[in-house]
Amino acid sequence: MNTILEQSFSVPFRYPVAFTENLFDPQNRILANVLRGQRVPKVLFVLDSGVSDFHPNLIQGIKNYASVHSEVFSMAAEPMVVPGGEACKNEESSYQKIVEATHLYGIDRHSYIAVIGGGAVLDMVGFAAAISHRGIRLVRIPTTVLSQNDSAVGVKNSINAFGKKNYLGTFTPPTAVLNDFNFLTTLEDRDWRAGLSEAIKVALIKDLSFFEWLEEKAEALAKREMKPMQEHIIRSAKMHMDHIAGKDPFEFGSSRPLDFGHWAAHKLEKLSDFRIRHGEAVAIGIALDSAYSYLQGRISSEDLNRILVLMRTLGFDLFVPELQGENLVQGLKEFQEHLGGQLTIMLLEKLGKGIEVHEMDHQLIHKSVELLRTLETKSELIST
């Protein structure tokens, strides 16, 4: 006798992505409103050490905020400070300390972990929250351009393993994402710039008008003007959120269009021993796949020039030595392995519209690298 029982159900996910300033000003009730419920939950705050260093009054500000809003939530312990940057995703001890803290301080599924930091720390702490008690509620408070306009608004958490980026991870939506623009004021220039690559990415594959806006505002963004930075973050985050809502948020398929430029970027990070930061690697990956699209005849020389001029105006490098050699193309195999199934790479059909392909010509990749190497040393780009 064969008996098959089948179950089918759907679970709606809903979470706010807020944009504000002075999040921990007691008069700002955004965080308190997120945490408000029928009971008073415990909250474990975890801070990126870089953020803590640049904002020495932050911990006291969190304590003051908790004191004023004690009817809404309580602090589970002193805020934890953890090392930031990609290193926190490479060391197992980093996420294990967060898991241990949930045990020591009685953080349960009705509690919260609030993580404040850059994308790597948000990834690592999110992973620890997702595997503790099968999921502790997470509030993300991103502090970099890249995390505010891209990574924090999504549903992924991860750490690195076996020398591969994001090998271990979960798809676990946050309870809320709270962006405080004031954190951006203390970023180094390279971190201010790096996050813009994710906006260029989404504009190139989805929205020509956004790409044109970035061209128009490039010099202002390079000069660290805050108003266009805020506008770009909100616009980019909205586009990423719309994609998550309308496509394949848990990546059951082999398509990942929002990773335009990322197959090379992930490999470059590893090849450089993470000297090249994620946003910088994405910018180079976009330049590479744009050059490849040009050499395939998909976009014109004028289109490629516009992309590369925008990159240069913002201060990005177009070429790094790690692009050369056979190690780079290994990133294609690793990218396919990470998703499973068929290799699927996003290229450009035209500015503002991407097209998926399922194979890449290795010789043409090397020609694209050589083109970027040549252009990096020239004051003028390719002739039109």
Residue 172 has a pLDDT of 94
Q: Are residues 202 and 323 in the same domain?
A: yes
Q: Which one of 186, 202, 235 terminates a domain?
A: 186
Q: Are residues 50 and 36 in the same domain?
A: yes
- Structural domain span for residue 252: 189-376
Q: Which one of 186, 216, 231 terminates a domain?
A: 186
CATH number at residue 334: 1.20.1090.10
**What confidence tier does 254 reach under pLDDT thresholds 50, 70, 90?**
very low
Q: Are residues 176 and 264 in the same domain?
A: no
Q: State how beta strands 345-350 and 353-357 pair.
A: antiparallel
Examine residue 381 and state whether it is found in any structural domain, yes or no.
no
Which of 307-311, 339-343, 346-350, 377-381 has the lowest average pLDDT? Answer: 377-381
pLDDT tens track for 312-352: 999 999 999 999 988 998 888 888 887 777 888 999 999 99
Q: Are residues 200 and 151 in the same domain?
A: no
Q: Are residues 206 and 97 in the same domain?
A: no
**What confidence tier does 1 reach under pLDDT thresholds 50, 70, 90?**
confident
**What confidence tier does 228 reach under pLDDT thresholds 50, 70, 90?**
very high
Q: For the chain, what is the mean pLDDT?
A: 92
**What confidence tier does 354 reach under pLDDT thresholds 50, 70, 90?**
very high
Range of 150-154, 171-175, 327-331 with top mean pLDDT: 171-175
In three-state secondary structure terms, 346 is strand
DSSP lists the bridge partners of residue 115 as 46, 140
pLDDT tens track for 76-98: 999 999 999 889 999 999 999 99
Q: What is the mean pLDDT of residues 52-73?
A: 97
Q: Are residues 89 and 232 in the same domain?
A: no
Q: What is the mean pLDDT of residues 95-106?
A: 97
- Residues 266 and 336 sit within 8 Å (Cβ to Cβ): no
* DSSP conformation class of 183: G
Q: Are residues 116 and 170 in the same domain?
A: yes
The closest of 137, 135, 149, 134 to 174, measured between CA atoms, is: 137
Q: How far is CA 101 from CA 60, 72, 119, 124, 132, in A?
A: 20, 22, 21, 14, 10
Residue 303 has pLDDT above 80, yes or no: yes
The closest of 79, 86, 69, 90 to 27, measured between CA atoms, is: 69
Phi/psi zone of residue 223: left (φ > 0), alpha (ψ -120 to 50 degrees), beta?
alpha
